[in-house]
């Protein structure tokens, strides 16, 4: 008996989840852009730190340099 009462609630929650997902598609895109910008900023900071640390051997930072170039 409890299962019969629970099914409409589960269905309503599933429908609300679908509708809510459609309404927030723009926010998902903005969140992805924000995350990408944060990743890029962190990559630049890591590269700058690497260059500062390896002044006598800048090739030690080539991996980060290529990553920055690929991001741009």
pLDDT (mean) for 11-23: 53
Q: For the whole model, what pTM was predicted?
A: 0.58
Burial 5-21 (b: 16+ CB within 10 A, else e): eeeeeeeeeeeeeeeee
The boundaries of the domain holding residue 19 are: 2-71
pLDDT of residue 30: 78
pLDDT of residue 23: 47
Please state, as a whole number, how many other Cβ atoms lie within 10 Å of the Cβ of residue 68: 16
| Tokens 């944060």, residue located | 38
Q: Give the number of domains in the chain.
A: 1
């Amino acid at each position: 008996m409890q299962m019969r009462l629970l099914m409409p609630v589960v269905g309503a929650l599933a429908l609300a989840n679908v509708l809510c997902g459609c309404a927030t598609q723009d926010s998902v895109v903005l969140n992805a852009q924000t995350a990408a910008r944060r990743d890029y900023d962190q990559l630049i900071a890591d590269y700058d730190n690497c260059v500062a640390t390896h002044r006598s051997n800048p090739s030690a930072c080539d991996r980060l340099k290529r990553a920055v170039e690929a991001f741009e």
